[in-house]
Every structure is written in C-alpha cells, then in structure tokens.
Amino acid sequence: MYAERVLSGMRPTGALHLGHYHGVLKNWVELQQEYPCLFFVADWHALTTQYDNPQNIEKATWDMVIDWLAAGVDPNQATLFIQSRVPEHAELHLLLSMMTPLGWLERVPTYKDQQEKLSNKDLSTYGFLGYPLLQAADILIYRADKVPVGEDQVPHIEFSREIARRFNHLYGREPGFEDKAREAVKKLGSKRARLYEELRTRYQQEGQREALEQAHAVLDEIQHLSVADRERLFGYLEGTGKMILAEPGALLTEASRMPGLDGQKMSKSYANTITMRESEDSVAKKVKSMPTDTNRVRRTDPGDPARCPVWQLHQVYTDEATRATLEQGCRTAGIGCIDCKQPVIEGILKEQAPMRERAQLYLDDPVLVKNIIADGCEKARELARETMRDVRESMGLEYH
C-alpha cells in the first residue's frame, strides 16, 4: 500500500473570496496538520474553458497562491505547486487516454452540465471532454488516497478509481509476476512467509476479510521491503497482480454555506463576493449597501431576520448572545439596519486581519512566493517521476 496522501487543486480564477476561505482553505489548513498534503494550481484545467483567453492565468495564479498563504496554508507542512510545472501530469494523461473508453468521459455528469451552463463558449473540444481524465491523472500520479471533495464531485473520484482499476487490470500483470511475488514472499522470513501464505489461502479460498486485513497488517509491519516487492505482495494476496496506480478515496467535505451579499451562495458568477483581502473601506461599503428585509422600509418598521441576507452573515460572524439581542431589536424596530450590520463588518475585518498581515509579507517580497512554488514543484515532480517510472515500465515504455 502507498503512503497516506491528500491532494487538492484549484483553478486560478483571480482573487479568492470568503466563500473559498470557508469552503476550501480552512479545510486545507486543518488537513495539512493531519496528513502529507499536496495543493496545486490547476492551470491546465483553467485552459479547458479559457483556452481563448489565457492572458490572465499567470497573474491569477500568483494572486491565488498568496491567498492560500494568507489563509494559513503553510509551505512547511504542505507542498504547493503549479500543475503545468510538473509535465508528468500531461504524460500520464496521454497514456491513460489510450485506454479510456470514450463513453466513460461522455457519461461524466458535469460534462453536459458545464457545456449547457457555459453555452456562450464553444466547449466541443478534445481538451474539455478529457478534463475528468486530466483530473484523474492529477490524482493518480501522486497515488493520493484522500481527495477532499463535496458531494457533487464524488463521481469524479469514482471515475478516477475506475481508471486506476482498468489500468492495473491491463498492465498490472508484469511478466513473471507470480515468480517475482514468490521470491518476495521468501524475503519475509520463514515465520512471516508461512503466516502470509496461510492468510492468503484463507482469503482466496474462503473469502475471509479478516485474513486479508491481518495479512495487510503483517506487510505494514515490515520495513525492509522495496516498494515494488511490497506492491507485488499486496497484489499476490488479493490475486489482482501488481497495483501500479492506487485507487483514490473521497474525503467528503461539507458544502460551504457561506452566503454572499445578496443571500445566495457567495460566488463570483453572482457578483456577490467579498474577497479575502478586500480593503476595509470596501468591506464596510459592501455590507452597508446589502439589501435587508424588504418589508422594513422605514426605521420604525419591525423586521424579520429570516427574510434578511444580512442575518445569514450573522450566522457566520456573530456570537449567539449578540444575535439574540439583534433579533429582538429587529423584530421590535429597536435597532436600525445600519446598527445591525456593524457587527458583521467587524467580524469580517477581524477574520481578515491575520490574512492581510500574512499576505503583506509576500506582497513585499514576491520572490518568496516564487521560491515556495519552485520548491513545491520540485517535490511534487519527484513523486510524479516515481509513479511514471512504474507506469512506463508496466506499459513497456522504459527502453532499458
């Protein structure tokens, strides 16, 4: 089995907003403390829909990386890189494309959805059709077993799993696999080898799952095996051959409920955002001009918080006791809407303060950001190269 690893990417779409912070980045900051994490800028994915207008991608990339760092993503804990700087992604994408049935791509739910949603663009392109496969290559190249996604993205992970399975089925049977696996068993030492064989028989002949789990535990304990032998032994155990690409798992994340300035979900396409590093004046101005309960026309009219978009932001930024006082004030017309908006403004500014401070360091010295990315690209490339060596070898492309 391969090491636990989290992979997540984001398209460079310009300055990130508080919806990104609450929906994705806060989660990344937590994940980086628990697992080895790889976070990448999906600039090739941006090209699948912006192929006719790529000029902004570079600036959007650097702005976005600064936003990640501002949110607390820590380059000492996680690896940050740019997809196109690790060209092995493209190689794996190409090789996988040889064995991917066209129907699998056409069936991906977002393919038709996105085409309809972005009907102003011609998306009948090879790149757009292949984007789930590029996404699968992004994941499989790092043998990432944990991919944080929302419910709607689960089919993409399932697609990546199917691709991995198909690949392993087609190319996992290296020549002389059985002999090499038997040789690897001997390397376990006689006592462990006997136990391994016994557990393997119990699993393969009697289907005992506990035997399989026990055998995994035995292999996990052993330090001296090479990666190739380890994979052979896992494959031999299950009768599947060598596992070259690991099947990824979805790490389900709760959908962000971060409301925008109009009460809909915060999104650039609704023009209802506050960016993570929006200036203090602009935050105050935007919140002050937010619509409120439409029945509250005059200051003396009582209101209903349930009908007010500002109230949704209070759920994020205000404590329960303050909310109780404000609700009472709204319902009795004891407070005006400007008074009610003030704690939201303060809450946002408080949240943004450490982000602004962290970002300033990188804005003052952009070389720092470039170095973080150069370093991350190199680390990511090392992992990608390792997988590609196995992939090429299994497909007969190593040319010794």
Give me the 84-103 binding string for ligand SF4, x by CB under 6 A, dash otherwise. Answer: --------------------
DSSP tally for the chain: helices H, then strands E = 19, 5
Q: Residue 148, interface with ligand SF4 (CB under 6 A)?
A: no
Of the pair 136, 287, the CB lying nearest ligand SF4 is at 287
**What is the number of alpha carbons within 13 Å of residue 223 lying toward its C-beta?**
0
Burial of 390 (0-12, 13-18, 19+ CB in 10 A): buried
Closer CB to ligand SF4, residue 247 or residue 293? 293
**Smallest separation (angstroms) from ligand SF4 to the CB of 331:** 8
| Contacts with 138 (C-beta within 8 Å, 6 or more apart), sequence order | 7, 9, 40, 42, 83, 89
Candidates 212, 237, 274, 340: give the one binding ligand SF4 (CB under 6 A).
340
**Size of site (CB under 6 A) for ligand SF4:** 13
Cβ atoms of 3 and 33 closer than 8 Å? no
DSSP bridge partners of 251? 148
Q: How far is the CB of 288 from ligand SF4 (least distance, A)?
A: 10
Q: Among 227-235, 245-253, 274-282, 290-298, which window interacts with ligand SF4 (CB under 6 A)? A: 290-298
Token pair, residue 189, equals: 């030492």
Distance CA 29, CA 134 (A): 25
Residue number with CB closer to ligand SF4 (128 or 311): 311
Nearest residue (CB) to ligand SF4, 54 versus 291? 291
CB of 296 to ligand SF4, least distance (A): 5
Decide whether 305 or 347 has the Cβ nearer to ligand SF4: 305
Query: Encoding tokens for residue 312?
Result: 């949704």
Least Å distance between CB 299 and ligand SF4? Answer: 10
Specify the long-range contacts of residues 51-58, CB closer than 8 Å, at least 24 apart. 51/125, 51/127, 52/121, 56/14, 57/12
* Shorter beta-carbon distance to ligand SF4: residue 193 or 337: 337
What sign does the dihedral 160-162-166-169 (CA atoms) show?
Answer: positive
Restricting to residues 291-330, which ones interact with ligand SF4 according to CB under 6 A?
292-293, 296, 303, 305, 308, 310-311, 330
Shortest Å distance, C-beta 255 to ligand SF4: 24
Considering beta carbons, is residue 303 or 376 the nearer one to ligand SF4? Answer: 303
Using CB under 6 A as the binding rule, whether residue 218 contacts ligand SF4 is answered as no
348 binds ligand SF4, rule: CB under 6 A: no
End-to-end CA, the chain: 27
Q: Between residues 117 and 288, which has the closer beta carbon with respect to ligand SF4?
A: 288
> How many angstroms separate the CA atoms of 337 and 306, rounded?
14
Q: Is 343 in the site for ligand SF4 (CB under 6 A)?
A: no
Positive/negative CA dihedral, 67, 69, 73, 75: positive
Residue 337 in contact with ligand SF4, rule: CB under 6 A: yes
Residue 170 within binding range of ligand SF4, rule CB under 6 A: no
For residue 340, count CB atoms less than 10 angstroms from its CB and return exposed for 0-12, middle for 13-18, buried for 19 or more. buried
Interface residues with ligand SF4 (CB under 6 A) are: 292-293, 296, 303, 305, 308, 310-311, 330, 335, 337, 340-341
